[in-house]
Chain A
């Protein structure tokens, strides 16, 4: 077995015209949407449970929050709803495909693997929309706050959603054992919900933990989303975009590396 060049793996062996790629991408998109429609309600429910649910639960634990604290809580909810979709459901689906034996079948389809990855990521971004909208609606209704939504909401949500799905996909490809993936994602959710400065300011965290989060994507997801929904709460947004871009790229590289090593 010899590793084939990454570009050949992702784009197909023979150089195709962009029109060919686009057609393959659209066909793959249809295939993915129809084959994954069964778990769509489950994904939306999980997003609402962890997004809006956690925003409400945090309020039970810490009553009498000041207005800024409430805005922090509400604007952190979309990040909490995107993380489980990208980093739990995407790896779980891949794990399920491995267990059921359809993982290899999908790779054997006559479509360049890069296009398959692009299709999966697109589907995840589309699926994220209803969950995120419902989460924001529920959280703003519960706390009675008004958000000041700016046009930055589009790049913010696109990048955060893409990053979460890319990292999830990378994890699912790097770790072959579905049980291990399951364990990792469960621990991840635990750490995200309790130990990440998403719904609470970083200043409440010990310095070392706040420093760790400078390198991890979770805090930065909350920053770019918060910057697009509120004014004056989020700072240093440019750095957060860069960090998220780097994590997205890392996810893609991981997937590409695993794919190029395959037979």
Chain B
């Protein structure tokens, strides 16, 4: 038996270059494996972005008040930014568990962080597409005067990152597929109905506003409104900090879940 000299052994793949290569491959793999769902994603984003903007307007007798219009116009883009990462992708992981492909995907010869990065990239592309659709719909339907500032870039990136991290944590930490599905649907319902994202906080009970202060969704609303709303918004730095904290905590949970050996 001839053993290969040490110099000819395959080298350990590590470092930024190899990570980047693995990320590109993982992104291609993620998109390819979801290719049947891509039309569905487009439908979800358009329904969410345009559908909510137009639908909320029907709640009002006559023209919607300008304050409501501001919250709807700046709140719906948030839904479009989180819907893929927080609602859709955890369900994909749940489906993998049901189909017994979860362990296979986890066993791929690529850093597991690339999976999150690929996931985030997909969420960002789909979310920005939906966000633009919602902003166009809002300006056409309500003639709202939005002022897009450069802060929209960090705001979009961070909102999407926080929701992707939270979705990633839910998808990997919750091992019961049924529970994952219910959790993501209830979260969606909570954000749209019980978080001051698409309507001002003073229109809901004070205790619910307090509950929301510890959650990331009200902060997403503050960050987005300050970036595109064209009105002065208070507590922006705190909102960025809350989002960063939720991102960090979610990633910690996700790392613990992903590294756990069964």
Q: What residues make up the interface of B, taking CB atoms closer than 8 Å to A?
A: 40, 47, 51-52, 55-56, 58-61, 68, 186, 189, 192-194, 198-199, 203-204
Q: Does A183 contact B (CB under 8 A)?
A: yes
How many Å lie between the Cα of A19 and that of B235 in the bound state? Answer: 72
- Residues of chain B within 8 A of A201, CB atoms compared: 61
- Residue contact A195 to B59, C-beta cutoff 8 Å: no
- Contact residues in B for A69 (Cβ distance below 8 Å): 61
CB distance from A202 to the nearest CB of B (A): 10
Query: Residue A208 at the B interface, CB < 8 A?
Result: no
The distance in angstroms between the C-alpha atoms of A194 and B51, with both chains bound, is 8
Is A49 touching B189 in the complex (CB atoms < 8 A)?
yes
Minimum CB distance partner of A200 in chain B: B59
Specify which chain B residues have a CB less than 8 angstroms from the CB of A205 in the assembled complex: 58
**B204 contacts A183, CB within 8 Å?**
no
Contacting pair B58 A58 (CB below 8 A): no
Q: Are B59 and A60 in contact (CB under 8 A)?
A: no
Q: Which of B193, B198, B203 contacts A63 (CB 8 A)?
A: B203
Interface size on A, residues (CB 8 A): 22
Q: CB-nearest residue of chain A relative to B64?
A: A62
Report A-chain residues with C-beta under 8 Å of the C-beta of B60.
62, 204
Known: A200-B59, A204-B61. A60 touches B51 (CB 8 A): no
Would B58 and A194 count as touching, CB distance under 8 A? yes
Inter-chain contact A183/B198, CB cutoff 8 Å:
no
Asked if B204 and A60 make an inter-chain contact with CB atoms under 8 angstroms apart, the answer reads yes
Chain B residues whose CB sits within 8 angstroms of the CB of A187 once the complex forms: 47
Task: Summarize B's interface: helix, strand, loop or mixed.
Answer: helix
Chain B residues, CB < 8 A from A57: 192-194
- Is A105 positioned at the interface, with any CB of B under 8 Å from its CB? no
A62 to B64, CA, bound (A): 9
Which residue of the partner chain, among A53, A183, A190, A194, contacts B193 with CB atoms under 8 Å? A53
CB 8 Å contact bits of A196-233 with B (1 = contact, 0 = none): 00001101110000000000000000000000000000
Task: Give the residue of B51, B59, B61 whose beta carbon is less than 8 angstroms from that of A58.
Answer: B59
Chain A, interface SS category: helix
Q: Is the CB of A62 within 8 A of B59?
A: yes
Whether B189 and A194, one on each chain, are in contact in the complex, defined by CB atoms closer than 8 angstroms, is no
Q: Do B61 and A54 have beta carbons less than 8 Å apart?
A: no
7 cross-chain CB contacts under 8 A: A53-B193, A57-B193, A60-B194, A69-B61, A187-B47, A194-B55, A195-B58
Residues of A within 8 A of B189 (CB): 49, 53
Q: Select B199's contact among A53, A60, A190, A193, beta carbons within 8 Å.
A: A60
Option from B40, B47, B56 in Cβ contact (under 8 Å) with A190: B47
Chain A residue nearest in CB terms to B195? A60
CB distance from B94 to the nearest CB of A (A): 13
Residue of B55, B186, B194, B198 touching A195 (CB-CB under 8 A) = B55
Which residues in chain A, 107-154, are within 8 Å of chain B measured between CB atoms? none
* Bound-state Cα–Cα, A187 to B59, Å: 19
Given contacts A53-B193, A187-B47, contact A61 B56 (CB under 8 A): yes
A63 to B60, CA, bound (A): 10
Residue from the set B52, B58, B203 with the largest chain A CB neighbour count within 10 Å: B58
CA distance A195 to B61 in the complex (A): 14
Q: Decide: A61 near B55, CB < 8 A? Known: A53-B189, A187-B47.
A: no
**Which 8 residue pairs spanning A and B have beta carbons closest together?**
A194-B55, A57-B193, A63-B203, A60-B204, A62-B59, A61-B199, A61-B59, A60-B203
Cross-chain contact A60 with B61 (CB below 8 angstroms): no
Report A132 CB to chain B, min CB distance, Å.
19
Docked Cα-Cα span, A118 to B225, in Å, equals 53
Q: Which residues of chain A are within 8 angstroms of B55 by Cβ–Cβ distance?
A: 193-195
Q: Per-residue 0/1 for A76-110: is the Cβ within 8 Å of any B Cβ (1 yes, 0 no)?
A: 00000000000000000000000000000000000
- Alpha-carbon distance between A54 and B194 when the two chains are bound, in angstroms: 10
Contacts of B47 in A (CB 8 A): 187, 190
Query: Considering the chains assembled together, what is the distance between the CA atoms of A26 and B159 in angstroms?
Result: 55
Do residues A194 and B56 form an inter-chain contact, with CB atoms below 8 A? yes
**Distance in Å from the Cβ of A181 to the closest Cβ of chain B?**
14
Q: Within the assembled complex, what's the spacing in Å between the Cα atoms of A61 and B192?
A: 10
Instruction: Using CB atoms, name the residue of chain A closest to B201.
Output: A60
Q: B56 and A54: CB pair below 8 A?
A: no
Q: How far is the CA of A200 from the CA of B203 in the complex (A)?
A: 18
Can you name the residue of chain B whose Cβ is closest to the Cβ of A56?
B193
- Contact of B68 with A61 in the complex, beta carbons under 8 Å: yes
Q: How far is the CA of A205 from the CA of B56 in the complex (A)?
A: 11
Known: A49-B186, A54-B193. 11 other contacts (CB 8 A): A49-B189, A60-B193, A60-B204, A61-B199, A61-B203, A62-B68, A190-B51, A194-B56, A200-B58, A204-B58, A204-B61
